[in-house]
Amino acid sequence: MSETAPALYGDPLSSPAVFHAPLHSASMDAEWWRSSVIYQVYPRSFRDSNGDGTGDLPGITAELGRLAELNIDAVWLSPFYPSPHHDGGYDVADYCDVDPLFGTLADFDTLMARAHHLGIRIIVDLVPNHCSSDHALFQAALAAPKGSAERSMFIFSDGSGADGSEPPNNWQSHFGGRAWTRTTNADGTPGQWYLHLFDSTQPDFNWDNPAVRAEFERVLRFWLDRGVGGFRVDVAHALIKAEGLPDWGGRADGGSSEGFPGSEAPMFGQQEVHAIYRRWRGILAEYDGERILCAEASIDPLPRLTDWVRPDEMHQAFNFAYLHHPWNAHALRDVISSSLTAFDAVDAPTTWVLSNHDVVRHTSRFGLTGGAPRGGDGIGRSDAQPDTATGLARARAASLAMFALPGGIYLYQGEELGLPDHTAMPEDARRDPTFVRTGGERLGRDGCRVPLPWLADAPLYGFGATGDDTNAVPQPWLPQPEGWAGYARDVQSGDPDSTLSLYRTALQLRRDLQLGAGSLSWSREFETTDTVAFLNGEVLVVLNMGEFATPLPTGNVIVASTPGAVEDQTLQPDACVWLMHAAG
Ligand code: GLC
């Protein structure tokens, strides 16, 4: 993305001056998801309780108390289901079980009980677009003949060309290479092709088939019965494909390609998908406690994305337009305005997110001068390296500004420690299918998935227990960078100036001041070309994205992004402050 403001978001000056977080209920708890803070755990890298080099459910249970200190409402768990892990568990072989790598269903129940005790909801990741090629349904489909009921669970098709040796259409996989793989018949002859928008080990389900819909309703109920607070729905815009599977000139990633706006892609954003989510919302409504659906849908522009959160569909959708904003005040004001306008129009909360397991962490993105790589394109050893200090200062400032926005917040594990990406990861350690399928041309997402540092002075920075009685240090599934001791949770915990302390303080204030349920109005008075300034209740937020210090109004500082952020009534560059603003 370029450093100049994209035209996409419209002019903030033409937007309304005040945006309200839509609140319909008398009680905050009743519609908790309108102002929630949800923390994403990537189980493989969170905490390893048994010393096998991979994080696990007991590791999460053991540390949930520390997450509660962040004043979060819910934890979203990335997939922990049985999987061959060709795509980090987003290749699910059984939707109703736990991979032995992560533990057992009993471990899941223990985690649920602990979360319940702490008042934290658990949201699980539902991957309905595709499963793993190891899934029993796909194995049955491969074994069954062309035209069978088993094959109709997936998207099988004869090839094109005289002998069917060409794929049925020209779609490309999100991870690189073509989106079709040819099967081999039992007698060894070449067979039909199957569609996979992602890796060849991730066959797409055929959502036109009622049996697929019934199977996922069973899966929803399985987890709802176990008490989960809801589902983050993976690739929620792709389930239905356009009839006839027409050729398409763009990448299968929802991004627009030359001459092809993303909104016209035949594999994304088809209107029929909404009936599925209306049905799911009805199922969730049968359960108590306000269970929620959150869409991962790469749809632009924002007013189209809001179709996913109309009142009878999902509760939330990730705001990727916001996630991708560059370090530029105009662009940030634009995307905040257009987000609030678009989501307000359908009475849904806006969500805000800066990092997740698919993108370069915002500490590293904001430390790059030439703009950030697109999702799936990591930073490698031979690339320009981010400036660590600038990246961290900006990340802390951006997060602090985000915490004052009305709506829902998503956090990604490790951002509360100010972790950067592992940008010096050796190529032979990389696991992302994007790396493999593009022959290393796109590095993939491993850099943001590195095992977390817990203890400054322990092997693997305390990520894992040391194996058996030999006390051998296990090999972590992805290597950690050198020199991460300063990021470890234990050293940050006791340091009032640490990123962890900033997150704790600011998220506590967000809750106490009810900013999530508040409203935003732009403060034109304190805005400059390079600063973003807004009011939420009595809190005035100023974020300096320029190169020079900017004057501040008088007012008590509530919290600042770094200790030296405010000096002589000015706000330093790459800093953010909340001030108690006297009205009038
Ligand atoms: C989503 C996930 C990503 C995964 C992809 C395919 O975008 O966030 O990690 O690779 O779906 O399931």
- Domain ranges for the chain: 1-19+523-584, 34-129+210-242+265-503, 136-195
Ligand 1 site, residue 91, Cβ cutoff 6 A: no
Pairing of β 121-126 and β 230-233: parallel
Question: By the 8 A CB rule, do 36 and 516 touch?
Answer: yes
- Nearest atom within ligand 1 for CA of residue 197: 6
Give residue 371 CA to ligand 1 midpoint distance, Å: 23
Residue whose Cα lies nearest atom 9 of ligand 1: it is 358
Ligand 1 within 6 A of CB of 76: no
In order along its 584 residues, the chain shows pLDDT tens digits of 333 222 222 333 334 567 766 544 433 478 999 999 999 999 999 999 999 999 999 999 999 999 999 999 999 999 999 999 999 999 999 999 999 999 999 999 999 999 999 999 999 999 999 999 999 999 999 999 999 999 999 999 999 999 999 999 999 999 989 999 999 999 999 999 999 999 999 999 999 999 999 999 999 999 999 999 999 999 999 999 999 999 997 665 544 443 444 557 999 999 999 999 999 999 999 999 999 999 999 998 999 999 999 999 999 999 999 999 999 999 999 999 999 999 999 999 999 999 999 999 999 999 998 878 876 789 999 999 999 999 999 999 999 999 999 999 999 999 999 999 999 999 999 999 999 889 999 999 999 999 999 999 999 999 997 656 666 778 999 999 999 999 999 999 999 999 999 999 999 999 999 999 999 999 998 899 999 999 999 999 999 999 999 999 988 999 999 999 999 999 999 999 999 987 65
Alpha-carbon distances of 326 from 10, 181, 521, rounded to whole Å: 16, 37, 22
Mutate to test the pocket of ligand 1, among 358, 360, 438, 442 (most ligand atoms within 8 A of CB): 358
Integer Cα distance of 432 and 484 in angstroms: 22
Is pTM, for the whole model, over 0.85? yes
- Ligand 1 in contact with 320 (CB < 6 A)? no
Residue 462 Cα, ligand 1 centroid: separation in angstroms?
A: 28
Tell me which CATH code domain 1-19+523-584 carries: 2.60.40.1180
Catalytic residue from among 56, 199, 234, 300 = 234
Q: Largest alpha-carbon pair distance within the chain?
A: 82
Question: Considering 29, 225, 286, 288, which one is annotated as catalytic?
Answer: 286
CATH class for the domain made up of 136-195:
alpha beta
User: Is 290 a catalytic site residue?
Assistant: no
Q: Whose CA is nearest to atom 7 of ligand 1?
A: 235
Among 42, 87, 131, say which to mutate for ligand 1: greatest number of ligand atoms within 8 Å of CB. Answer: 87
- Name the residue of 40, 132, 198 to mutate for ligand 1: max ligand atoms within 8 A of Cβ: 198
Contact 534, 554 (CB under 8 A): no
Q: Cβ(446) to ligand 1 under 6 A?
A: no
Q: Does the annotation count 107 as an active-site position?
A: no
CB atoms within 10 A of CB 279: 15
Distance 415 CA to ligand 1 centre (A): 20
Pick the closest to residue 269 from 129, 167, 170, 172 (CA basis).
Answer: 129
Instruction: Specify the CATH number for 34-129+210-242+265-503; select among 1.10.3720.10, 3.90.870.10, 3.40.50.2300, 3.20.20.80.
Output: 3.20.20.80
